[in-house]
A and B are shown apart, each in its own frame.
Chain A
Amino acid sequence: MTDLALAKATASPARRFSPALPGIGLLLVVAYGILPLVANEYLFDAILTPFLALALAGLGLNILTGYAGQVSLGSSAFMAVGAYAAYNLALRLPGVPFMIDILLAGVVAAAVGLLFGLPSLRLRGFYLAVSTLAAQFFVQWVFNKVGWFSNNSPSGIVSVPTLSVVGITLDSSAGRYLFALTVVTAVTLAVWRLVESPTGRALVALRDHETAARVIGIPVLRVKLLAFAVSSFIIGVAGVLWAFAYLRTVEPAGFNLDRSFQILFIVIIGGLASLRGAFLGAALIVVFPLLLARLGEALLGGLFDSGVLEMSQRIVLGLLIVTFLITEPAGLTALLDRAWNRIAGRFRRTGLPITG
């Protein structure tokens, strides 16, 4: 982690491809104004909404792992906590508006995260990763074991109530997408504020050198726990989106270790300690396998059965990720920065105006 940070600091590009306000504005115009007009149900339900939920989970984990340097393998447990908390709040407190449910679900996830963050006060690195695994297994076990959480549903799989905010029912795919988009935008802006604040810098200081951080007066224990709480809160909210906006059903098996790894990969592939990283990583993890699957099917579908195709896609995907991480260990964000700098540099040399 420290080496990576060092490499990042020294190789900091001259012109960072940084999220400036107009850029975000334009993205939002596309996401809110144009996509709902042009996208179809497939794009919403199979790509955009899961992308948003996973990007948010990646953002949450990035605070913990990317910024604060604490490795966690329990992300999907916190998603599960958020999802089940929101389900039970909606079920048992029917009068409470759903926006409040989401916040409360996040708070519940944060509390659980705090609890499992306690070992981080004594453990580091791989040891901490292993202790967060405990969260992963424990949470899944509890939701399996205690029927109350799934309202004693005989099959243990529950259908969530229809999404409805301030009296508007959002059960169309576009409605659920817009809901997820709004939540993700709000949380992302809040996180942006956080990482730019002194607290955010304290997180980075903690990651780069714990002892040094302590020496310059950063309350290390408190900052660590804060990182766990904030991260779990965000991942919990992502879990709510996953359950309510995307799948519309909750089952413990859906939040297994594979999902935790998926979120970790999103952060690593996208770029540690970068807001865009989570989104780029999620885009790659969600969209790329689908593209590969469709392409494989279109080209070779007649020759092999779907099992063979699926296996070969995994090999291709794995190879691509390895190749890609060798070329750019700092993730997609760094790749994008570099590409942008090269383009900008070429423009500069040819003397063409580069600002518009």
Chain B
Amino acid sequence: MPRPNSRTLSVKAALLGALLGTAALLPGAAQADEQYFPLQSYRVGPYAAGGTGFFGGFIDYLTLVNNRDGGVNGVKLTWDECETQYEVERGVECYKRQKNRPGVAAWNPLSVGIAYAMIDDVGRDRVPLITVNHGRTDSTDGRVFKYVFPLLLNPYSESSGIVNYIGAREGGLETLKGKKIVVLYHGSPYGKETIPIYQLLAEKYGFSVEQVEVPHPGNEQQSQWLSIRRTKPDYVVLRGWGVMNPVALKTAQKVGFPADRIIGNVWSNSEEDVIPAGDAAKGYTAITTQASGAEYPVLQEITKTVYGAGKGNLDDKKRIGSVYHNLGIVNGILNVEAVRIAQEKFGKRTLTGDEVRWGFEHLRLDPKRVEALGAKGLFHSINVSVANHEGEGRVTFQQWDGAKWKVVSDWIAPDWALLRPIIERSSLAYAAEHGIQVRDPAAEEASN
């Protein structure tokens, strides 16, 4: 009796038909001279505050380039969004769908989980994957991770940058000897990632370090802060996430630990982290790769021409110049400049992903070029190469004055030389495990 089967078949066929039908409804193929940015954004779910700010800033910058310059050398920038809710399988679905549109420049998921799931695929599809300020630390080694770029800052550099800042504030790294630092970290893989690095830095500079875990989500920290009060550390490094950050600041105030001795990491540095803590956040200092504020020329232009014309992406104009928004703008600058650099070599047309990858590997923006882009003071510089996909990003520190962030340090360089051997050990192990041929940077530079 074949009927049941044909019935199932027709159900399947109907589903398939519906699917193809909707696929046909999607925006048509990109025309010539378009460079497409697929955005796996998240505007829904627990991380929506970061997602709306970051992708809003990214889109605002792309809009600015299109409106002001007509694209990059006449090549229009296009994008569309696919909602991931920060969930890996949704990110994968977005990747598989969005990659079919021609002219993909680069992927920017802003999610470690999604980035991990894409590493194999971007290698096969030969398109760069950008994980600005986060991502897989060992992908800094571009000899192994050809298509992955943790631009500006990876978690190890972040830790080193924080210690360098504390040293500078105390009057030199040698004064760290005998000091006591507590690292309060989120009880997740992300939070635990830098445990060995703080150990290493403590040994190198002779301070003592105690690393205290706060279980997810971190809305109860009484016992951790009471033990911190007993330890009496000189500094507490806050490696938090979401609700853990304001709760940490409030509890610190309750036990009498001064906020200006708490230093936040890159996921504890936004307005969303401090405003809920109210007064308790006053004096709190956090690391960033991009200063906040809307006084930089590029932000002025975005406010005037993009938001002025009602084309801005943020719903709430007050968020212009906030930490996540500015990160999105800096990310936009880095992506657009990589395309521009690649165009100089390959021609002013729609580039392939691999050509854009070449652009990222030659993304060298010195402070002068950054100034020309209207971003002086917003971020320092970047210097990506085949071997170094992070690009020696500098960090700065901002203090919360109760209403806004104020820059309180110079641009500080992390100790890359100290970290590089650890990164290489991990990346070479990955290469061996996955049978990846390690690239020879010198030979590649010579052939270019």
Contacts and interface: CB of A to CB of B under 8 A. Distances in A.
B85 to A, nearest CB: 7
A217 interface: no
Interface of A: 17-20, 22-23, 26-27, 30, 41-43, 45-47, 50, 144, 147, 150, 153-157, 159, 161-162, 171, 246-249, 251-254, 283, 287, 290-291, 293-295, 297-299, 301, 305-307, 309-311, 336, 340, 344, 354-356
B12 A298 contact: no
B83 A307 contact: yes
B89 A249 contact: no
Contact of A306 (B43, B112, B119, B136): B43
14 contacts: A23-B2, A27-B9, A30-B12, A43-B19, A50-B89, A144-B187, A157-B113, A157-B189, A247-B117, A249-B117, A253-B189, A254-B88, A305-B43, A310-B43
B97 A22 contact: no
Contacts of B136: 155
B196 interface: yes
A249 B196 contact: no
Nearest to B192: A156
B440 interface: no
Given A41-B96, A247-B117, A310-B43, 14 more contacts: A20-B1, A23-B1, A27-B8, A50-B89, A155-B136, A156-B193, A247-B92, A252-B189, A290-B19, A298-B26, A305-B313, A306-B82, A307-B83, A355-B3
Nearest to B156: A154
Interface string B40-60: 010110001000100000000
B318 interface: no
Given A155-B193, A157-B189, A251-B113, A283 B92 contact: no
B92 A45 contact: yes
A154 B196 contact: yes
A50 B426 CA distance: 30
B296 interface: no
Interface in B365-408: none
B222 interface: no
B190 interface: yes
Interface string B416-448: 000000000010001001100000000000000
Interface residues of B, number: 56
Contacts of A45: 92, 96
Given A154-B426, A310-B83, A354 B89 contact: no
Given A23-B5, A247-B89, A307 B43 contact: yes
Contacts of A249: 88, 113, 116-117
A73 B341 CA distance: 53
Contacts of B83: 293, 306-307, 309-310
A306 B83 CA distance: 6
A86 B433 CA distance: 16
The 10 A-B pairs of least Cβ separation, nearest first, read A156-B189, A307-B43, A298-B25, A23-B5, A294-B22, A46-B93, A26-B5, A249-B116, A46-B96, A42-B96
Interface in B1-32: 1-9, 12, 15, 18-19, 22-23, 25-26
B92 A46 contact: yes
B69 interface: no
Nearest to A251: B113
Contacts of B15: 283, 287
A23 B41 CA distance: 42
Contact of A42 (B43, B97, B189): B97
Nearest to B22: A294
A355 B1 CA distance: 6
A337 B346 CA distance: 61
B120 interface: yes
A294 B21 CA distance: 10
Interface in B133-180: 136-138, 155
A294 B26 contact: yes
Contact of A156 (B8, B119, B190): B190
B137 to A, nearest CB: 6
Nearest to B135: A155
Contacts of B223: none
Contacts of B112: 155, 157
Contact of B4 (A23, A46, A251): A23
